Amino acid sequence: MKRRQFISHILAAFLQLAPLVRVTQSLPGVITSPAFIILRWIVGSAAVAGSFHGVSGATGIVPNVVRATNGVRTSLTFSITSSSRGTAKSYSVLSGLPPGLTLSTRGTLTGIPTLSGTFPLWVTGWQTSMLNGESSDLYVEVTVVSANPPVITNQPSSVSIPAGQTVNLTAGFKGDQPMILQWFKGDLELGNATNAVLTITSAQAADSSRYRLRVANDLGTVFSDWSTLTVQAAAAKPVIVAQPVGQQLHAGEDFSLSVSATGNDLSYSWTRDGVVIGGSSPTLSVSEATPLLAGLYRVRISNSGGFVDSDGVAMAVVEALRWGVPSLVSDSLRLPFNGIPGRRYAIEAASSPGSPYLLIGEVQGQADSSFDLEPMNNSGRFYRIRPLP
Mean pLDDT in order along the chain per 10 residues (389 residues): 35 36 35 32 31 48 91 93 87 91 96 92 93 91 91 96 93 92 96 96 95 94 97 89 95 95 94 91 94 96 92 95 91 91 94 90 92 70 90
Angle at 280 between CA 276 and CA 281, to 5 degrees: 125
Provide the pLDDT for residue 353. 83
* Residue 241: partners with Cβ closer than 8 Å, 6 or more residues away: 260, 261, 262
Q: How many domains does the structure of the chain reveal?
A: 5
User: Same domain, yes or no, for 92 and 41?
Assistant: no
User: Same domain, yes or no, for 95 and 138?
Assistant: yes
- Cα 112 from chain centroid? 37
> Where are any strands of DSSP class E within 193-282?
197-200, 209-217, 220-223, 227-232, 239-242, 247-250, 255-258, 260-262, 267-272, 275-278
Paired residues of 123 in beta bridges: 93, 138
* Any domain includes 380: yes
Residue count (the chain): 389
Give the residue numbers spanning the domain of 189.
157-232
Provide the pLDDT for residue 389. 84
Provide the pLDDT for residue 288. 93
pTM of the model: 0.44
Q: Domain end: 107, 124, 145, which one?
A: 145
* Burial of 374 (C-beta count, 10 Å sphere; 0-12/13-18/19+): exposed
Asked whether the beta carbons of 55 and 47 are under 8 A apart, the reply is yes
User: Same domain, yes or no, for 226 and 161?
Assistant: yes
Provide the pLDDT for residue 90. 96
Residue 82 neighbours by CB distance under 10 Å: 23
Closest CA to 283 of 318, 249, 226, 242: 242
**What sign has the CA pseudo-torsion 219, 223, 224, 229?**
positive
* Any domain includes 349: yes
Phi, psi of 9 (to 5 degrees): -65, -45
* Any domain includes 150: no
Q: Domain end: 298, 318, 338, which one?
A: 318
User: Same domain, yes or no, for 335 and 311?
Assistant: no
Report the C-alpha gap between 264 and 255 in whole angstroms.
27
User: Edge-to-edge strands of the sheet including 65-69?
Assistant: 65-69, 135-145, 117-126, 90-93
* Any domain includes 244: yes
Report the C-alpha gap between 332 and 338 in whole angstroms.
19
The CATH number given to whatever domain includes residue 102 is: 2.60.40.10
User: Same domain, yes or no, for 75 and 130?
Assistant: yes
Q: Domain end: 318, 338, 360, which one?
A: 318
Kind plus residue range of the DSSP H or E element containing 24: helix 2-26
Exposure string of 275-313, with b = 16+ CB inside 10 Å and e = fewer, is eeeebeebebebeebeeebbbebbbebbbbbeebebebb
